[in-house]
Amino acid sequence: MTEIPEHLLKRSRDRKAAGGGSSDSGSEASVPATTTPAVPAPRAAAPEPVVSQAKPDPAYVAAAKKRGKIPHWAMATLALLPIFLFMYVRGLQPQKAEASGPIAMGIELYGACASCHGADGGGGAGRVFKGGESLKTFPHIEDMLNWVYAGTEAFSAAGVPTYGDPDREGGAHAPYSYNGSPMPAQGAKYGGALTEYEILGVVCHIRYDLAGADPAGDWAEEYEKWCSEESEIFLGLEDGSLTFDSPELEIGTDPRPGSPAGEMMGA
Protein backbone atom coordinates (compact mmCIF):
# COMPACT_ATOMS: atom_id res chain seq x y z
CA MET A 1 0.00 0.00 0.00
CA THR A 2 1.19 3.50 -0.77
CA GLU A 3 0.26 6.16 1.65
CA ILE A 4 -2.12 8.81 0.38
CA PRO A 5 -1.02 12.28 1.45
CA GLU A 6 -3.38 14.01 3.83
CA HIS A 7 -4.13 16.96 1.51
CA LEU A 8 -5.36 14.61 -1.23
CA LEU A 9 -7.59 12.76 1.15
CA LYS A 10 -9.04 16.06 2.28
CA ARG A 11 -9.73 17.13 -1.31
CA SER A 12 -11.50 13.84 -1.94
CA ARG A 13 -13.65 14.28 1.14
CA ASP A 14 -14.52 17.83 0.11
CA ARG A 15 -15.58 16.74 -3.35
CA LYS A 16 -17.77 13.99 -1.98
CA ALA A 17 -19.38 16.46 0.31
CA ALA A 18 -20.01 18.84 -2.57
CA GLY A 19 -21.15 16.52 -5.38
CA GLY A 20 -21.99 13.21 -3.79
CA GLY A 21 -19.97 11.22 -6.37
CA SER A 22 -16.35 10.50 -6.94
CA SER A 23 -14.10 9.03 -9.55
CA ASP A 24 -10.97 9.32 -7.49
CA SER A 25 -10.85 5.83 -6.15
CA GLY A 26 -11.18 2.46 -7.84
CA SER A 27 -12.42 0.92 -4.62
CA GLU A 28 -15.60 2.97 -4.87
CA ALA A 29 -16.48 1.64 -8.36
CA SER A 30 -19.81 0.29 -7.13
CA VAL A 31 -20.95 3.64 -5.88
CA PRO A 32 -22.04 5.28 -9.20
CA ALA A 33 -24.94 2.80 -9.49
CA THR A 34 -26.65 4.60 -6.69
CA THR A 35 -25.69 8.12 -7.64
CA THR A 36 -25.74 10.43 -10.65
CA PRO A 37 -22.76 10.01 -13.07
CA ALA A 38 -19.57 10.60 -11.20
CA VAL A 39 -17.50 12.79 -13.48
CA PRO A 40 -19.78 15.72 -14.38
CA ALA A 41 -20.95 16.27 -10.86
CA PRO A 42 -17.76 17.70 -9.36
CA ARG A 43 -17.25 19.86 -12.43
CA ALA A 44 -20.72 21.31 -12.12
CA ALA A 45 -19.83 22.29 -8.62
CA ALA A 46 -16.62 24.01 -9.69
CA PRO A 47 -16.80 27.74 -9.12
CA GLU A 48 -15.34 29.05 -12.43
CA PRO A 49 -18.36 28.74 -14.79
CA VAL A 50 -20.49 30.58 -12.33
CA VAL A 51 -18.08 33.47 -12.33
CA SER A 52 -17.85 33.75 -16.12
CA GLN A 53 -21.63 33.56 -16.53
CA ALA A 54 -22.10 36.24 -14.05
CA LYS A 55 -19.90 38.73 -15.92
CA PRO A 56 -21.64 40.27 -18.96
CA ASP A 57 -19.53 40.37 -22.14
CA PRO A 58 -17.93 43.72 -22.88
CA ALA A 59 -19.63 45.52 -25.79
CA TYR A 60 -16.94 44.69 -28.31
CA VAL A 61 -17.02 40.97 -27.48
CA ALA A 62 -20.81 40.88 -27.72
CA ALA A 63 -20.64 42.65 -31.09
CA ALA A 64 -18.09 40.15 -32.38
CA LYS A 65 -20.27 37.27 -31.23
CA LYS A 66 -23.36 38.66 -32.93
CA ARG A 67 -21.55 39.36 -36.18
CA GLY A 68 -21.94 36.54 -38.72
CA LYS A 69 -18.95 34.31 -39.44
CA ILE A 70 -18.05 33.61 -43.14
CA PRO A 71 -21.16 33.93 -45.35
CA HIS A 72 -22.29 30.72 -47.04
CA TRP A 73 -21.80 32.05 -50.56
CA ALA A 74 -18.21 33.01 -49.78
CA MET A 75 -17.55 29.56 -48.34
CA ALA A 76 -17.87 27.98 -51.79
CA THR A 77 -15.27 30.33 -53.23
CA LEU A 78 -12.93 29.88 -50.31
CA ALA A 79 -13.16 26.11 -50.55
CA LEU A 80 -11.86 26.30 -54.14
CA LEU A 81 -8.98 28.58 -53.22
CA PRO A 82 -6.35 25.81 -52.90
CA ILE A 83 -7.30 24.54 -56.36
CA PHE A 84 -6.97 28.01 -57.90
CA LEU A 85 -3.64 28.38 -56.20
CA PHE A 86 -2.46 25.03 -57.59
CA MET A 87 -3.54 25.94 -61.12
CA TYR A 88 -1.87 29.33 -60.85
CA VAL A 89 1.46 27.84 -59.79
CA ARG A 90 1.19 25.23 -62.57
CA GLY A 91 0.57 28.04 -65.05
CA LEU A 92 3.78 29.79 -64.04
CA GLN A 93 5.91 26.80 -65.01
CA PRO A 94 6.85 26.75 -68.72
CA GLN A 95 5.28 23.86 -70.59
CA LYS A 96 7.75 21.48 -72.19
CA ALA A 97 7.04 20.89 -75.88
CA GLU A 98 8.23 17.29 -75.79
CA ALA A 99 5.60 16.40 -73.22
CA SER A 100 2.84 16.56 -75.83
CA GLY A 101 4.27 14.27 -78.54
CA PRO A 102 4.69 14.55 -82.31
CA ILE A 103 1.05 15.06 -83.31
CA ALA A 104 0.47 17.95 -80.91
CA MET A 105 3.65 19.53 -82.23
CA GLY A 106 2.53 18.93 -85.82
CA ILE A 107 -0.83 20.62 -85.21
CA GLU A 108 1.02 23.71 -83.98
CA LEU A 109 3.41 23.79 -86.93
CA TYR A 110 0.96 22.92 -89.69
CA GLY A 111 0.26 26.63 -90.26
CA ALA A 112 3.47 26.66 -92.34
CA CYS A 113 1.88 24.17 -94.74
CA ALA A 114 -1.79 25.19 -94.62
CA SER A 115 -1.41 28.19 -96.96
CA CYS A 116 -0.61 25.84 -99.87
CA HIS A 117 -2.15 22.54 -98.75
CA GLY A 118 -5.34 23.82 -97.04
CA ALA A 119 -6.21 23.79 -93.33
CA ASP A 120 -7.89 20.39 -93.73
CA GLY A 121 -5.39 19.06 -96.29
CA GLY A 122 -7.82 19.70 -99.14
CA GLY A 123 -5.04 21.11 -101.35
CA GLY A 124 -4.59 24.36 -103.28
CA ALA A 125 -1.22 25.63 -104.43
CA GLY A 126 0.11 22.33 -103.00
CA ARG A 127 -1.13 18.77 -103.40
CA VAL A 128 -4.13 17.22 -101.61
CA PHE A 129 -3.40 15.26 -98.38
CA LYS A 130 -6.87 14.21 -97.28
CA GLY A 131 -8.89 11.19 -98.35
CA GLY A 132 -5.85 8.94 -98.04
CA GLU A 133 -3.89 10.75 -100.80
CA SER A 134 -0.69 11.14 -98.73
CA LEU A 135 -0.87 7.46 -97.78
CA LYS A 136 -1.10 6.44 -101.44
CA THR A 137 1.95 8.52 -102.32
CA PHE A 138 3.85 7.42 -99.20
CA PRO A 139 2.97 3.93 -97.95
CA HIS A 140 6.19 4.32 -95.94
CA ILE A 141 6.54 7.28 -93.61
CA GLU A 142 10.33 7.25 -94.18
CA ASP A 143 9.83 8.28 -97.81
CA MET A 144 7.52 11.14 -96.83
CA LEU A 145 10.03 12.44 -94.26
CA ASN A 146 12.79 12.36 -96.87
CA TRP A 147 10.61 14.25 -99.37
CA VAL A 148 9.42 16.95 -96.97
CA TYR A 149 13.00 17.43 -95.72
CA ALA A 150 14.48 17.90 -99.22
CA GLY A 151 11.63 19.35 -101.33
CA THR A 152 11.12 19.57 -105.09
CA GLU A 153 14.24 21.48 -106.10
CA ALA A 154 16.70 19.09 -104.43
CA PHE A 155 14.94 16.08 -105.99
CA SER A 156 15.02 17.68 -109.39
CA ALA A 157 18.65 18.77 -109.03
CA ALA A 158 19.68 15.26 -107.96
CA GLY A 159 17.90 13.80 -110.97
CA VAL A 160 15.57 11.60 -108.91
CA PRO A 161 12.67 11.02 -111.33
CA THR A 162 9.85 10.31 -108.86
CA TYR A 163 9.21 10.46 -105.10
CA GLY A 164 7.15 8.10 -102.96
CA ASP A 165 5.61 4.86 -104.25
CA PRO A 166 6.79 4.22 -107.86
CA ASP A 167 3.66 2.07 -108.36
CA ARG A 168 1.30 4.72 -107.01
CA GLU A 169 -2.34 4.48 -108.05
CA GLY A 170 -2.73 7.06 -110.86
CA GLY A 171 1.02 7.17 -111.54
CA ALA A 172 4.09 8.00 -109.52
CA HIS A 173 4.54 11.64 -108.49
CA ALA A 174 7.47 13.41 -110.11
CA PRO A 175 9.09 16.69 -109.02
CA TYR A 176 7.22 19.67 -110.54
CA SER A 177 4.41 17.33 -111.67
CA TYR A 178 1.55 18.93 -109.74
CA ASN A 179 1.26 22.43 -111.15
CA GLY A 180 4.83 23.19 -112.06
CA SER A 181 5.53 24.82 -108.68
CA PRO A 182 8.08 23.48 -106.21
CA MET A 183 7.39 22.12 -102.76
CA PRO A 184 9.74 24.23 -100.58
CA ALA A 185 12.40 22.23 -98.68
CA GLN A 186 11.76 22.11 -94.92
CA GLY A 187 15.08 20.63 -93.75
CA ALA A 188 18.10 22.68 -92.63
CA LYS A 189 20.45 21.28 -95.29
CA TYR A 190 18.34 22.93 -98.02
CA GLY A 191 17.54 26.15 -96.16
CA GLY A 192 14.32 24.93 -94.52
CA ALA A 193 13.21 26.28 -91.15
CA LEU A 194 12.04 23.07 -89.44
CA THR A 195 14.09 20.72 -87.26
CA GLU A 196 13.92 17.00 -87.97
CA TYR A 197 11.59 16.26 -85.04
CA GLU A 198 9.34 19.09 -86.18
CA ILE A 199 9.19 17.57 -89.66
CA LEU A 200 8.19 14.25 -88.06
CA GLY A 201 5.52 16.16 -86.11
CA VAL A 202 3.85 17.73 -89.18
CA VAL A 203 4.12 14.50 -91.15
CA CYS A 204 2.40 12.59 -88.31
CA HIS A 205 -0.35 15.23 -88.20
CA ILE A 206 -0.86 15.00 -91.96
CA ARG A 207 -1.01 11.18 -91.99
CA TYR A 208 -3.18 10.61 -88.90
CA ASP A 209 -5.36 13.73 -88.74
CA LEU A 210 -5.70 14.82 -92.37
CA ALA A 211 -5.07 11.82 -94.63
CA GLY A 212 -7.07 9.54 -92.33
CA ALA A 213 -4.64 6.78 -91.28
CA ASP A 214 -6.22 4.79 -88.44
CA PRO A 215 -3.82 4.68 -85.49
CA ALA A 216 -5.72 1.74 -83.98
CA GLY A 217 -6.16 -0.20 -87.20
CA ASP A 218 -3.97 -0.90 -90.25
CA TRP A 219 -1.50 1.80 -89.28
CA ALA A 220 -1.11 0.87 -85.59
CA GLU A 221 2.45 -0.39 -85.98
CA GLU A 222 3.67 2.73 -87.76
CA TYR A 223 1.77 4.93 -85.33
CA GLU A 224 3.32 3.36 -82.24
CA LYS A 225 6.81 3.53 -83.65
CA TRP A 226 6.79 7.02 -85.15
CA CYS A 227 3.85 9.17 -84.09
CA SER A 228 2.62 8.14 -80.62
CA GLU A 229 3.53 10.19 -77.57
CA GLU A 230 5.86 7.34 -76.56
CA SER A 231 7.66 7.33 -79.91
CA GLU A 232 11.33 6.75 -79.13
CA ILE A 233 12.26 7.97 -82.60
CA PHE A 234 10.61 11.34 -81.92
CA LEU A 235 12.38 11.61 -78.57
CA GLY A 236 15.67 10.52 -80.12
CA LEU A 237 15.42 13.15 -82.87
CA GLU A 238 14.55 15.73 -80.24
CA ASP A 239 17.51 14.99 -77.95
CA GLY A 240 19.89 14.52 -80.88
CA SER A 241 20.67 10.83 -80.31
CA LEU A 242 19.07 10.12 -83.73
CA THR A 243 19.04 12.07 -87.02
CA PHE A 244 17.39 11.52 -90.41
CA ASP A 245 20.78 10.17 -91.49
CA SER A 246 20.95 7.50 -88.75
CA PRO A 247 21.13 4.31 -90.86
CA GLU A 248 18.57 2.42 -88.75
CA LEU A 249 15.87 4.99 -89.51
CA GLU A 250 16.18 4.62 -93.32
CA ILE A 251 15.11 8.22 -93.95
CA GLY A 252 18.14 10.09 -95.29
CA THR A 253 18.51 13.78 -96.05
CA ASP A 254 19.65 13.26 -99.66
CA PRO A 255 16.83 13.01 -102.22
CA ARG A 256 16.11 9.37 -103.07
CA PRO A 257 13.38 7.34 -104.76
CA GLY A 258 10.65 5.87 -102.56
CA SER A 259 9.54 2.26 -102.22
CA PRO A 260 6.26 0.51 -103.10
CA ALA A 261 3.73 -0.58 -100.47
CA GLY A 262 4.77 -3.71 -98.62
CA GLU A 263 8.40 -3.30 -99.53
CA MET A 264 11.09 -1.41 -97.69
CA MET A 265 14.22 0.26 -98.96
CA GLY A 266 17.09 -2.16 -99.02
CA ALA A 267 14.70 -5.13 -98.72
Shortest reach from residue 172's CB to ligand HEC, in Å: 9
Shortest reach from residue 165's CB to ligand HEC, in Å: 10
Shortest reach from residue 256's CB to ligand HEC, in Å: 15
Cβ-based nearer residue to ligand HEC, 49 or 111:
111
21 with 41: CB under 8 angstroms?
A: yes
Cβ-based nearer residue to ligand HEC, 19 or 151:
151
Which residue has the closest beta carbon to ligand HEC? 113
If one counts every other C-beta atom within 10 angstroms of the C-beta of residue 141, the result is 23
Shortest reach from residue 74's CB to ligand HEC, in Å: 52
Q: How far apart are CA 57 and CA 47, in angstroms?
A: 18
3-class state of residue 173 by DSSP: strand
Cβ-based nearer residue to ligand HEC, 38 or 145:
145
Shortest reach from residue 184's CB to ligand HEC, in Å: 5
CB under 8 A, 24+ apart: contacts of 13-18: 15/42, 15/45, 18/42, 18/45
Q: How far apart are CA 110 and CA 186, in angstroms?
A: 12
3-class state of residue 163 by DSSP: strand
Binding site for ligand HEC (CB under 6 A): 112-113, 115-117, 125-127, 133-134, 137, 144, 147-148, 152, 173, 175-178, 181-184, 186, 202, 206
If one counts every other C-beta atom within 10 angstroms of the C-beta of residue 234, the result is 25
Cβ-based nearer residue to ligand HEC, 21 or 126:
126
Cβ-based nearer residue to ligand HEC, 19 or 222:
222
144 with 207: CB under 8 angstroms?
A: yes
Shortest reach from residue 266's CB to ligand HEC, in Å: 22
Cβ-based nearer residue to ligand HEC, 32 or 166:
166
The full DSSP string for 75-110 is: HHHHHHHHHHHHHHHHHHSPPPGGGGHHHHHHHHHT
